[in-house]
A and B are shown apart, each in its own frame.
Chain A
């Protein structure tokens, strides 16, 4: 039996307005190479100057994961020759990163949590982009110099499920912290996976293979599954030493296999050395204070929802999985509707409808406040649940006020005993035979009477009242 050992390296593009070492905008440019200057094009004499905000965002991440934020860190040059890097080196942090250690807790399917240790997180500059076109390559350096935070975990994950849970948690945290847009498809959240296997009980790690640039959680799971199978087979066939070598592999999305990136693994020596253009990065007390200002993070939110709002753990995890959903939920609560009903109306009613319409929570046609208002109207007996569902259907299509819809759809709940009794009397009078059968013990008929009363009232009668009064009248 084998054990899988997984460590993850995630490159998070920080959402600063400017690049890491120059004032060029990081925003989308319509023209290639429009966002460039002598510094990010590495012209002789141009010097890098650190973006204070990028350092603060890195520090904020450090505090969020209980890491040590180094008050002194240094930048190193990593040499490599490729047209996407005009300086022929990347400025990164190898010898002393800004964030060291830390931990992150992942939520597993069975309801348990697991602690994943963090190795470090360091600042570095992104490269440009090449497009290949026949016998030339076109180079666009708009992205060159964009700040990245490379977040390196300890090899603490033991299955692809844990790896995916880690990525989801990390993704959620950087989104809550608002340090990155973390969009996998757009490349602002890129992950490399390190995978090895070892016989169960063996302490030493096996040979680690790095799989680069996988752009969805699904592919991460698929790439790990393939790699574990490949390594296990090699071990069982006695060819582990020759088949599994420390190398970089690429995941082929179409075939579901990983392939060796031959040629690149020889570039093992990047000639790291401290960048003489940059002195130590020393963080000031003001920066520390600024970095420590952060919103409530998902783990704390889940606990608060459970302890203070009485939300079930499963629901709390669902709602807190993204900040958009959590903030929507909190907006609902401002209407004074009960947390329990807000959970149901958000996770079942609204998410169900959004799903059907292929919309995300950010694209919801109605705000959290409005859904909260709808829920509070049920709780105040202004409308019943069925009526509220009909209103929600309409709100998915049009932007009307709830009160106007209640009136125009005739859904104002009838709570007045007299009005309901009048309907009940009518129904019983028209269905004497059924009333008799019910009294003789055919209890199933009760549902028929409830249905009739609701129908005649146009769905507006208070169902609890209907039940109560019917019981009296028929009993």
Chain B
């Protein structure tokens, strides 16, 4: 995969980073190096393997559907929140 200025621009946006014009060529070269290093993995033959998302064996744990609630916990958390009022967390106004 080739990194070009369009991809770099998108990455800047996604990472909330600004990269100076005079640094762009250098950054593109570095990112391309990283990617080509990762491409070494393509030498492995994985055709006969299923895709996996974890190196761990077994599935996630599950619990039974029994409610438990300790109001002292939410009370503690609310009292440690930067701002709370009437048991609401308060944040600066957000416009939908």
Contacts and interface: CB of A to CB of B under 8 A. Distances in A.
Contacts of B94: 82-83, 130, 132, 137
A16 interface: yes
Size category of the binding interface on chain B: 20 to 34
Interface string B32-66: 00000000000000000000011010111111111
Nearest to A86: B89
A34 B88 contact: no
B74 A52 contact: no
B63 A274 contact: no
Interface stretch (A138-146, A174-182, A196-204, A381-389): A138-146
B79 to A, nearest CB: 11
A52 B63 contact: yes
Contact of A52 (B54, B65, B71, B88): B65
Contacts of B66: 17-18, 23
B78 interface: yes
Given A83-B94, A134-B93, A137-B92, A34 B63 contact: no
A60 B19 CA distance: 51
B77 interface: yes
Chain A CB count within 10 A is highest, among B54, B56, B66, B74, for: B74
B69 interface: yes
A55 interface: yes
B77 A139 contact: no
A198 to B, nearest CB: 29
A50 B69 CA distance: 17
B26 interface: no
Contact of B93 (A35, A50, A137, A281): A137
Nearest to A131: B88
B70 interface: yes
Interface in B13-28: 14
A145 to B, nearest CB: 12
A137 B95 CA distance: 9
B74 A37 contact: yes
Q: Is the interface of A mostly helix, strand, loop or mixed?
A: loop
Interface in A349-389: none
A136 interface: yes
A51 B65 contact: yes
A25 B60 contact: no
B88 A51 contact: no
A72 B59 CA distance: 8
Interface string A98-142: 000000000000000000000000000000001111111111110
A137 B90 contact: yes
A43 interface: yes
Contact of B68 (A16, A23, A34, A131): A23
A434 B87 CA distance: 85
Contacts of B71: 34
Given A18-B66, A34-B69, A50-B60, A43 B93 contact: no
Interface in A1-25: 16-18, 23-25
A472 interface: no
Given A34-B87, A135-B93, A137-B90, A279 B69 contact: no
B91 A35 contact: no
A41 interface: yes
Nearest to B96: A132
28 contacts: A17-B67, A23-B68, A24-B68, A25-B69, A33-B78, A33-B89, A34-B71, A34-B74, A37-B73, A37-B74, A49-B63, A50-B60, A52-B63, A52-B64, A95-B53, A131-B88, A132-B95, A134-B93, A135-B92, A137-B93, A138-B90, A139-B88, A139-B90, A141-B89, A274-B53, A279-B56, A279-B59, A282-B58
Give 3 closest A-B pairs by Cβ, nearest first: A282-B59, A53-B65, A138-B88
